[in-house]
């Protein structure tokens, strides 16, 4: 490892605006995670597809937000954060940071390919307007398929999106340990956060217990928010030093 590198060595003055963009993106991503936790606490997600359709009809904004709508903004922001981290960490860990960026972006791509709140909204409109029972049954089946695919972010119950983003984030955080721009608390909080993310991936595969879900999801969310705030703060300092 290139432990002899100074903080100034890993900073590129040409990337000052990029660091600032990453700073803002990290704070927005942190806010969306916290916002989603609070929102879902006040507006729990329906279980049955017919209840999803009813929610989408009665209050489409709440329906879209309940259908992981805030995560769309969060993952857009994470794309920026991960790319900015790559430009910094490639100076000390070129291979590790490249793998981390590739896995993270692949995972986010899976999220965008499988998260379909507006498709669900459209199906709910068609279901409300349909009078033929065969058509209504088909729309319910289509909604079930979208709900299953979105909930798992992949195929056959394997949440590949969460898995790849978690591995990518863990690798980025590991690389931070030896990077003078991030070493210390930021790296350790990130490692803890993404270990909890991987635990959530295992939890989704093995159990739907509400107690276990809360024991994993809440610490995971708090750690991710803390990590993003720390990353945002570090990027803000880097921008000022360019």
User: What confidence tens digit (pLDDT) does each residue in 185-213 have?
Assistant: 999 999 999 999 999 878 877 887 888 88
Distances (CA, A) of 139 to 64, 79, 207, 208: 18, 33, 28, 26
Predicted pLDDT of residue 205: 73
- Torsion angles phi and psi, residue 18, rounded to 5: -65, -40
Per the structure, the complete domain to which residue 104 belongs is given by 7-241
Predicted pLDDT of residue 1: 41
Contacts of 67 (CB under 8 A, 6+ apart): 45, 52, 115, 117, 120, 150
**Residue 26, pLDDT above cutoff 70:** yes
Residue 76 lies in a domain: yes
Residue 17 lies in a domain: yes
For range 37-41, the mean pLDDT: 92
Q: At what angle do helices 133-152 and 94-114 cross, to 10 degrees?
A: 170
Query: Residue 17: which pLDDT band, with cuts at 50, 70 and 90?
Result: very high
Query: What are the pLDDT digits (tens) for 114-136?
Result: 888 999 999 999 999 999 999 99
Predicted pLDDT of residue 210: 81
The b/e string for 54-79 (b: 16+ C-beta within 10 A; e otherwise) is bbbeeebeebbbbbbbbbbebbebbb
Residue 32 lies in a domain: yes
* % of the chain with per-residue pLDDT over 90: 69
If we measure between CA atoms, which residue out of 112, 124, 108, 113 comes closest to residue 63? 124
Pick the more confident residue, 150 or 123.
Answer: 123
Query: What are the pLDDT digits (tens) for 50-67?
Result: 999 999 999 999 999 999
Residue 190 lies in a domain: yes
- Torsion angles phi and psi, residue 45, rounded to 5: -70, 140
Predicted pLDDT of residue 7: 56
Q: Helix, strand, or coil here: 115?
A: coil
Distance CA 166, CA 163 (A): 5
Query: Residue 157: which pLDDT band, with cuts at 50, 70 and 90?
Result: very low
Residue 1 lies in a domain: no
Domain count, the chain: 1
- Predicted TM-score of the model (pTM): 0.89
Pick the more confident residue, 8 or 239.
Answer: 239
The b/e string for 186-214 (b: 16+ C-beta within 10 A; e otherwise) is bbebbbbbbbbbbbbbebbeeeeeeeeee
Distance CA 86, CA 83 (A): 5
Residue 166 lies in a domain: yes
Residue 2 lies in a domain: no
If we measure between CA atoms, which residue out of 215, 175, 223 comes closest to residue 195? 223
The b/e string for 129-162 (b: 16+ C-beta within 10 A; e otherwise) is eeeeeeebeebbebbeebbeebbbbbeeeebbbb
Pick the more confident residue, 23 or 47.
Answer: 23
Residue 183 lies in a domain: yes
């Amino acid at each position: 490892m290139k432990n002899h590198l100074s903080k100034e060595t890993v900073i590129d003055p040409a990337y000052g605006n990029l660091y600032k963009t990453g700073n803002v993106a990290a704070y927005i991503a942190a806010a969306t995670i916290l916002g989603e936790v609070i929102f879902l606490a006040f507006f729990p997600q329906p279980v049955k597809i017919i209840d999803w359709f009813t929610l989408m009809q009665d209050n489409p904004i709440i329906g879209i937000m309940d259908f992981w709508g805030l995560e769309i903004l969060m993952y857009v922001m994470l794309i920026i954060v991960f790319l900015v981290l790559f430009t910094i960490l490639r100076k000390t860990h070129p291979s590790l940071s490249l793998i981390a960026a590739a896995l993270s972006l692949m995972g986010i791509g899976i999220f965008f390919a499988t998260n379909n709140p507006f498709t669900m909204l459209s199906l709910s409109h068609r279901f409300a307007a349909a009078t033929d029972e065969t058509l209504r049954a088909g729309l319910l089946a289509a909604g079930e398929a979208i709900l299953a695919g979105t909930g798992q972010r992949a195929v056959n119950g394997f949440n590949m999106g969460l898995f790849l983003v978690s591995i990518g984030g863990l690798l980025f955080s590991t690389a931070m340990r030896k990077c003078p721009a991030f070493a210390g608390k930021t790296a350790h909080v990130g490692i803890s956060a993404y270990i909890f993310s991987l635990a959530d991936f295992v939890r989704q595969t093995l159990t739907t217990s509400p107690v276990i879900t809360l024991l994993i999801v809440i610490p995971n969310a708090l750690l991710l928010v803390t990590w993003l705030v720390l990353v945002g703060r570090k990027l803000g300092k880097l921008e000022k030093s360019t």
